[in-house]
Each structure stands twice: as C-alpha cells, then as structure tokens.
C-alpha cells in the first residue's frame, strides 16, 4: 500500500523572514580598510556600492599613510591599505606585513594650492611669492605624501626657506584642508579631490600644481598579510580595479 502525502508544511511569515535574514547574513563578511585621508569621499562611495552589490560590510578608517604604517607594524587589524604613495605598500611587503604581488595603483593624486576665499589664489600660484598671507597649511611630510609633494614644490620654486616661518603642519591632508576651510590658514596645499567636483572648484580659489614640480603622487593599494585568505578583502581589491570604479575615481579629480 502506498501512502500519499498531501499536507504542506507552513511557517509563520515572521519566522520565514528571520530565516531569510539569517541565511543572508551567514554569507556576509566584513573587511577593515585603512584609507589615506585624501581618498575619504571616493572610498565612502565605493564602499557603499560594494556593500549594496555584495551584501558584505566595509569598515573604513581614514588618516595619514605614515600613521597607518606604524599602526600596521604594531598589530592593527586592517586587511587592506589604500596608501597615498607607492613606497609604504612596498615597505610593508618587504617587511612581511603585506602580501607580495597584491600591490597596484588605484589612483594618481593631484596637488593644489587652495584658499577658501574666492579670487585669493591666482591660476599660476604667484601668491606664494607675494608673502601676502600669514599661514600656509601643509600636511606633515613625514606622514603624508601630499605634504612631501608640497615641500618638493616649494623647493623647486625656491620658496621653502622664505616661507618656512609661515608654514603650519597638519597631521594629515584632511586636517590641512580643515585649517584652510575654517580660515585658520589663508592658504594650504591639499588634494584636488578635496576641493574639486565635476572638474570645477567647489569653493574658494585654487592653483593646480604642475606635476613636474613634485614626485608623482602614485597611490597604491595592498592586501595585508592577515587577509591573504580572506575572500571579502580579495573581492574588494578586485572591485577597485573595475571600470565602473575607475570612472568614479576619475570624477573626483584623480588620474588612473
């Protein structure tokens, strides 16, 4: 004799929803990313897009590349570093803190001399030679590649000695920007991505520093040793190389 099963198992809708969320979250992962301060806004956009498309979570920390280097060497649990230079990832690989063959350039930055005041900075940066300002904000060149590029620029222009007394050093390019935005400094060297939107300056006045005045600001990413087998971290590294993300990065004033 054969038995025919006709009854169906039904579950309360609330339980179905909970099970669905549990299944979805069981597949989700998390990646911790140390991000150079100049890349704050672009990386926030990229993280939102990655989370939306993959269901994974991206935890971002922003700061100076040199500070991240020290933190990583002292055991900070980051899985990816988005540096403001190419030397720091190279050093981390050689010292055993990052995975070989994972370093790549995600953006090339542009340095600008910026003021929050309209018409204050002329198109060729002649204001630097006038001395008609009290403070010039610069990121600490020992910690921030944009600060080092600013120092190289002033040396090339033979202005470093003359302007030394007017220079105030910020911990990061983000702080250098804030000092100018708050008008605690009339001028500052900042990243183009901080003050330009859609190819135009969003506020104040600026001089785009010619690239020949400083070492190229080649910004590299690297996968840290702790994440060499982490699928979410590897997925985010690959995501940064996609055409859609490259177009987004360009829209913030970077070269690829």
Q: How far is CA 186 from CA 17, 34, 129, in A?
A: 56, 30, 14
Q: Domains in the chain, please, with CATH?
A: 29-108+217-251 (3.40.190.10), 109-213 (3.40.190.10)
Question: Tokens in use for 103?
Answer: 């370093």
User: Residue 200: what pLDDT?
Assistant: 78
Helix (H, G, I), strand (E, B) or coil at 85: coil
User: Residue 2: what pLDDT?
Assistant: 40
Q: What is the CA radius of gyration of the chain?
A: 23
Question: Tokens in use for 53?
Answer: 């498309």
Helix (H, G, I), strand (E, B) or coil at 32: strand
User: Residue 239: what pLDDT?
Assistant: 98
φ, ψ of residue 199 in degrees (nearest 5): 85, 0
User: Residue 123: what pLDDT?
Assistant: 92
Q: How far apart are CA 210 and CA 129, in angstroms?
A: 16
pLDDT (tens, 9 = 90+) of the chain, 256 residues, equals 443 433 333 444 333 333 333 334 434 799 999 999 999 999 999 999 999 999 999 999 999 999 999 999 999 999 999 999 999 999 999 999 999 999 999 999 999 999 999 999 999 999 999 988 999 999 999 999 999 999 999 999 999 999 999 999 999 999 999 999 999 999 999 999 899 877 778 889 999 999 999 999 999 999 999 898 899 999 999 999 999 999 999 988 898 8
Strand duo 205-208 + 111-115: pairing: antiparallel
Q: Tell me the CB-side half-sphere exposure of residue 59, using CA atoms within 13 A.
A: 7
User: Residue 203: what pLDDT?
Assistant: 87
φ, ψ of residue 8 in degrees (nearest 5): -115, 140
Q: How far apart are CA 156 and CA 52, in angstroms?
A: 45
pTM greater than 0.85: no
User: Residue 1: what pLDDT?
Assistant: 40
User: Residue 26: what pLDDT?
Assistant: 39
């Amino acid at each position: 004799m054969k038995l025919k099963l006709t009854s169906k198992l039904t579950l309360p809708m609330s339980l179905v929803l909970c099970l669905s969320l549990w299944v979805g979250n069981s597949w989700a992962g998390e990646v911790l990313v140390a991000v150079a301060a100049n890349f704050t806004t672009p990386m926030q956009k990229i993280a939102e897009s990655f989370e939306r498309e993959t269901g994974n979570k991206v935890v971002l920390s922003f700061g100076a590349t040199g500070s991240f280097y020290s933190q990583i060497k002292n055991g900070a649990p980051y899985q990816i570093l988005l540096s403001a230079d190419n030397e720091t990832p190279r050093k981390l690989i050689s010292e055993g803190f990052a995975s070989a063959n994972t370093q790549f350039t995600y953006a090339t930055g542009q340095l600008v001399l910026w003021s929050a005041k309209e018409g204050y900075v002329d198109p060729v940066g002649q204001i630097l030679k006038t001395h008609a300002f009290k403070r010039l904000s610069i990121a600490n060149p020992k910690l921030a590649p944009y600060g080092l590029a600013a120092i190289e620029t002033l040396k090339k222009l033979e202005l470093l000695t003359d302007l030394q007394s007017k220079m105030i050093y910020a911990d990061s390019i983000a702080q250098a920007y804030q000092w100018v935005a708050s008008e605690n400094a009339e001028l500052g060297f900042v990243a183009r991505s901080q003050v330009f939107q859609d190819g135009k300056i969003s506020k104040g006045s600026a001089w785009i520093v010619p690239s020949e005045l400083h070492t190229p600001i080649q910004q590299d990413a690297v996968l840290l040793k702790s994440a060499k087998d982490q699928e979410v971290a590897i997925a985010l590294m690959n995501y940064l190389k996609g055409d859609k993300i490259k177009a987004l990065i360009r829209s913030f004033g970077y070269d690829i």
